Structure 1
Amino acid sequence: MYRHLTSQDAIDRAYNPRLGVPDVEGWFAGWAQRSEEARRKLGCRLGLPYGPTLAEYVDVFPATRPNAPVHVFLHGGYWRSFSARDFSFIAEGPVARGVCTVVVNYALCPTVPITEIVRQCRAALAWTWHNIAEFGGDRERIGVSGHSAGGHLTARMLSTAWQRDYGIPDGIIKAALPISGLFDLEPLRWSWLQPTLQLSGDEILAQSPMRHLHTVPVPLAVAVGGAESDEFRRQSAEYVAATGAKLMEIEGRHHFDVLDDLASPYGKLWRAVESLMG
């Protein structure tokens, strides 16, 4: 079916991180609680629309200094679950370091296909470039990260024709960090996700980052947990080999707790973002 994986069960075990992590629901509940606390503690502007549908909004967590660097976060959930509100906690580290943070919401499969989610994320980044100065952010210093499906979306942002499609400079992204991303979508059409994602062969070709490597040079690192499945680590390593990015394998981290290294102002992943931004 896909490489050495000859059954749906094998693909599901390789690509469903919930199967290998105890108390997954506890992790999700913890994210929700931390996000509620972040919204309460940090100054934030919620539900700012970047498009015409209810799902197209961003939550902005301004920095406490003017002309601050900007960190845009694209959430995961296999394109079918979660919202920006579940990931407000990501802003804790960046804001503590004086960085304006934008958490992007988007519509989910099967209501829309992955192709539309990619378009929405691009629209959110274009909105950020046009509007972030209102919230103290410097549009000339925008970095992007994303986790899981958001890692895929982060990589897709790097092959965007910004000037052609949005009338803004092609180099708006100054740094990128896909975390635990999916760079080849092919195995997913043989997985438990297919009834929801409804991937076609054409969409797999069009939306797999491995087939559309970025054309504008961007400082790029790719992160994955050292305790993640062989397939997640292989996909990250192959994307790194194709792009010349830096590979960060975070020792002992699984698919979910790897985000702690982004949300902490002293975490390895947040420090990597700062280093990429220069």
Structure 2
Amino acid sequence: MPLYRQFNTQEELDWEYRPEIRIDDPKAFEKIIAERIAKAEEARAMLKRTADVHYGPTRMEKLDIYPAADASAPIVIFIHGGYWFDGRLKKENYIWIARGFVARGVTTVIIDYDVCPKVTVDEIVRQCRAAVAWVYKNAETFGGDRDRLYVTGNSAGGHLTAMMAITDWAGDYMLRADIIKGACPISGLYDLEPFQYTWLQPKIQFNGQQIRRNSPILHVPEHAIPLLVSWGTEESREFWRQSEDFGAAWQAKGNAVEFHPQQGGNHFTAIDGFADPNSAFLDKVMSHMRSSWA
């Protein structure tokens, strides 16, 4: 019996779902983190910032706000990755994400959350939902337009972005059903079943109920927001399939979706365009944002 789909061993699944081992340089991931920290420090000196705003009661429930120049600007919330466990990846490492958006007139909110195994994936999702609800309720206090709220994120943040898109904001939060107008999950994981068979399991400690509750492909609603599903063309076949299958499930429920494979991009470069106000990728996301609240 295969472990998952056609995969018989952990090694086969790790090759598909552990992006850093597909890069020849064994120190590549550490170099990527160091480069992002340097980019973040450069961006910190350029941008206005309200830091460490608590959206919830626990230590890690914090967010940073990077305001656009104009009052009542549209808002984008960015959710970073880290495979739900990597505490090295914090909001401070992603300040550079705000450079392109702020230059294009979009107030940017970057959130933090706790990681496994300190908390479960259920709690991570709850924290991200609490952050989105906080931003919606408090947008006017920092010059944002809550009626033009958009969410994006990469890797585990792509998964969490999808979880925000399937949230019952009216039933669970007593807010408008459409508080989010659109979303762009990037290099996301939408079926969590394979991860219990990978090197990740000791770190994330998923069980069957958690996997079913938090696999967005199993919970696609009707009358949902439009999605722009993106990934890099140099990613593994499983990352391709997860994105394509999730987008197809979104469409099957009558919802709008655009697919955007980024030519030549990999798991680590798929969000680089956010740092450049003139990048083709940011142009694509901005166009999707505008159409989602039109």
Q: TM-score, normalised by structure 1?
A: 0.97
Distance of 2:18 and 2:119 partners within structure 1? 21
Report the Cα offset of residue 189 of structure 1: 0.2
Q: Does 1:267 align with 2:283?
A: no
Find the residue that maps to 2:57 and give its secondary structure: coil
Report the Cα offset of residue 237 of structure 1: 0.7
Paired positions, count = 278
Conservation of the 8 A alpha-carbon contact between 1:59 and 1:102: yes
Aligned with residue 83 of structure 1, among 57, 82, 90: 90
Conservation of the 8 A alpha-carbon contact between 1:159 and 1:216: no
Conservation of the 8 A alpha-carbon contact between 1:180 and 1:223: yes
Find the residue that maps to 2:8 and give its secondary structure: coil
Aligned with residue 202 of structure 1, among 209, 215, 219: 209
Distance of 2:128 and 2:222 partners within structure 1? 18
Q: Does 1:255 align with 2:267?
A: yes
Worse-superposed segment, 63-72 or 242-251:
242-251
Which residue of structure 1 lines up, in the alignment, with residue 41 of structure 2? 36
Distance of 2:279 and 2:81 partners within structure 1? 19
Distance of 1:18 and 1:188 partners within structure 2? 16
The residue identity in structure 2 corresponding to 1:50 is Y
Distance of 1:44 and 1:168 partners within structure 2? 27
Find the residue that maps to 1:204 and give its secondary structure: helix
Report the Cα offset of residue 163 of structure 1: 1.8
Find the residue that maps to 2:160 and give its secondary structure: helix
Aligned with residue 121 of structure 2, among 114, 119, 129: 114
- After superposition, the CA RMSD in angstroms is 1.1
Report the Cα offset of residue 88 of structure 1: 1.1
Which residue of structure 1 lines up, in the alignment, with residue 30 of structure 2? 25
Report the Cα offset of residue 175 of structure 1: 1.2
Distance of 1:73 and 1:232 partners within structure 2? 20
Report the Cα offset of residue 259 of structure 1: 1.1
Distance of 1:176 and 1:75 partners within structure 2? 14
Structure 1, unmatched stretches of 5+, are: none
The residue identity in structure 2 corresponding to 1:276 is H
Q: Does 1:64 align with 2:66?
A: no
Per-residue deviation, residues 25-47 of structure 1 (Å, max 9, x unmatched): 11111111111221221000010
Conservation of the 8 A alpha-carbon contact between 2:166 and 2:224: no
Distance of 2:176 and 2:117 partners within structure 1? 32
Report the Cα offset of residue 263 of structure 1: 2.6
Distance of 1:267 and 1:71 partners within structure 2? 17
Aligned with residue 242 of structure 1, among 232, 237, 249: 249
Which residue of structure 1 lines up, in the alignment, with residue 185 of structure 2? 178
Conservation of the 8 A alpha-carbon contact between 2:166 and 2:219: yes
Report the Cα offset of residue 111 of structure 1: 0.5
Find the residue that maps to 2:126 and give its secondary structure: helix
Find the residue that maps to 1:52 and give its secondary structure: coil
Per-residue deviation, residues 14-64 of structure 1 (Å, max 9, x unmatched): 100011134221111111111122122100001000000110000100111
Aligned with residue 13 of structure 1, among 9, 12, 15: 15
